[in-house]
Structure 1
Amino acid sequence: MRPHKVTLVLLAVIMLGTACSRLTFIRPKGGMKAIDVPRTEYDVRDSKATQERLEERNSLGLAEQRLRVGDLETAEREASKALKLNPSSAAAYTLLAIVADRRGQAKAAGDDYRKAAELSPQDGGMLNNYGAWLCANGFPAEALVWFDRAIAAPGYNNPTAALANAGGCALQTGQYERVESDLRKALALDPKNAYALVSMARNEYRLGHYMDARAFIERRLTAAPVDAGVLQLAVDIETKLGDMAAAEKYRQRQRAEFPNATAASPGDSARP
């Protein structure tokens, strides 16, 4: 199961408006009616910088909107337009990374995630995104460095994803001393965090604590939609516990929902 990656945050388009008062109403002494006294009329226009900033935000908003519905071509075009207007836009690089990732262009995605993280070194979300890409693409040790930066980033108010990712990634590197610590911190913040739950199940399976592994995999099964790997882990756990009826139930579900999945041998799914 892949680490948590990017959670798209709605890019609000801030409309900058200008208001001009063209008439001043004066009430003279002596009970006279108010009269309109024209003042100098100003024609306030947006500066070029303001116009470009608005265009950038509009393009980012449209790119995200199209990405949500799977229109990768338009999303890429609008994100590229935003990047041309602002070459330092971490949001634009992130959107381009997601597009590349969905197209299976792993290297291009990694380059863009890294650029976004470098442009926003204090943004925990951007740091977590790049760490997740590293962990999912065979660089778990390096990924942990970026997760730690994300967790420590000032103003990162919701480090759940980075903690869950760090715990799951540490399982790959064999840094078992931090696996349970990071995962339990993530679950304390979000008891239904799917990646933390399945990673805890895998860790308990690794330790031979099959009853505990069952408890975590059952929580994982109800927390979010599953993939073939989650069901295979459930099969493995029930097999170790000797409950062949439960194992077969999960195996049948796996065949029904993921007919093209290749069944792993017992224990294989215990690895992230």
Structure 2
Amino acid sequence: MARPAWLAAPLLVAVLTGCSSSPARDEPPSDNARAAQINVQLGLGYLQRGQKQAAAEKLARALEQDPKSALVQHANALLQDVLGETEAADRHFRRAIELDPKDSEARNNYGAFLCRLKHTDEGVAMLEQALGNPLYATPEFAWSNIGQCRRQAGQLTEAETALRKAVQLNPRLASAWLQLAQTQFERGEAMQARESLKRYHDLAPQDPASLLLGARIEQALGQRQAQAHYELLLRGKFPDSDEARRLGEMPR
């Protein structure tokens, strides 16, 4: 399923570093809570590898073991989102945030989820709430998602501002550089877009989207040889991609 590269927070890291099952508990976690954490860890591992059935089994078990865990609810939200179960994902996201209002990772992922559903204002508000937590370890994720959300809504000036904040916070965040290059190109800033795309290619392998964008940028700059180079790479490396087929739609 093709989707924009919204940036999910590193939820699995939270499990591996031994976060508690629920922030409201001061006592050591119960046996059920510990078992639920293990099942979340296993379930997210399966989900990352594309093993959806195995992930669903582990995360359903975690939900039975500790339904009042924000972490368990968050993990199940991510699963339901991947499965395309929008209403269930929304329900689990809301429950996770209700259980732990300070969980910026959940707010980041829920905000990105809302943005994919074209609920721009609600999604950006959720992402900004994530950024309101001074202890949020990866604010560049939320800034990048705000940028992508704004770009999707055609709010290109706001999108570029957010994406610049993302790459300032983490210059090695490759996907934000690609989003920035796309936004700058759409704003008619071809030279800036070329530089941002170069930064992306310094950090990540060439892919169909980046090669098509490169061809478009060089065309806008009147660099026919460079344009042809990108087109050759796209047709040679990814001949069956949608982007390769879209080369024929470019004006000549």
Same fold by TM-score greater than 0.5: yes
Shift of 1:78: 1.5
Query: 1:46-91, CA deviations, whole angstroms, 9 ceiling, x for partnerless residues?
Result: x9x7222222222222223333433322221121111112212232
Query: 1:218-262, CA deviations, whole angstroms, 9 ceiling, x for partnerless residues?
Result: 111222244422221111101111112222222222223333322
* Distance change in 2, residues 1:246/1:59 (3 Å): same
- Paired residue for 1:160? 140
Task: Look up the SS of the partner of 1:87 in the other structure.
Answer: coil
Question: Structure 1 vs Structure 2: percent identity of aligned residues?
Answer: 29
Shift of 1:145: 0.9
- Paired residue for 1:256? 236
Structure with bigger gyration radius: 1
* Distance change in 2, residues 1:181/1:244 (3 Å): same
The amino acid across from 2:220 in the alignment is: K
Aligned with 1:147 (options 116, 127, 138):
127
* Distance change in 2, residues 1:80/1:150 (3 Å): same
Cα distance in structure 1, aligned partners of 2:120 and 2:202: 28
Does the 8 Å contact 1:12/1:61 carry over to 2?
Answer: yes
Aligned with 1:137 (options 105, 112, 117):
117
The amino acid across from 1:7 in the alignment is: P
- Paired residue for 1:222? 202
Aligned with 1:61 (options 24, 27, 41):
41
Shift of 1:185: 1.6
1:205-220, aligned counterparts within 5 Å? 205-220=185-200
- Paired residue for 1:246? 226
Does the 8 Å contact 1:13/1:58 carry over to 2?
Answer: no
The amino acid across from 1:56 in the alignment is: A
- Paired residue for 1:115? 95
Shift of 1:191: 0.9
Q: Which has the higher helix share?
A: 2
Cα distance in structure 1, aligned partners of 2:203 and 2:102: 31
Of residues 82-91 and 214-223 in structure 1, the stretch that sits farther from structure 2 once superposed is 82-91
Cα distance in structure 1, aligned partners of 2:210 and 2:116: 16
What are structure 1's unaligned runs of at least 5 residues? 15-46, 268-272
Shift of 1:13: 8.2
1:1-272, aligned counterparts within 5 Å? 1-10=4-13, 11-12=15-16, 50-263=30-243, 264=246, 265-266=249-250
Query: 1:1-57, CA deviations, whole angstroms, 9 ceiling, x for partnerless residues?
Result: 33212434231386xxxxxxxxxxxxxxxxxxxxxxxxxxxxxxxx9x722222222
Cα distance in structure 2, aligned partners of 1:97 and 1:266: 39
* Distance change in 2, residues 1:180/1:204 (3 Å): same
Cα distance in structure 2, aligned partners of 1:198 and 1:218: 9
What are structure 2's unaligned runs of at least 5 residues? 19-26
Query: 1:101-130, CA deviations, whole angstroms, 9 ceiling, x for partnerless residues?
Result: 444445544443343334332111110001
Of residues 179-188 and 210-219 in structure 1, the stretch that sits farther from structure 2 once superposed is 179-188
| TM-score, normalization by structure 1 | 0.75
Does the 8 Å contact 1:122/1:154 carry over to 2?
Answer: no
| TM-score, normalization by structure 2 | 0.81
Does the 8 Å contact 1:3/1:165 carry over to 2?
Answer: yes
Does the 8 Å contact 1:202/1:233 carry over to 2?
Answer: yes
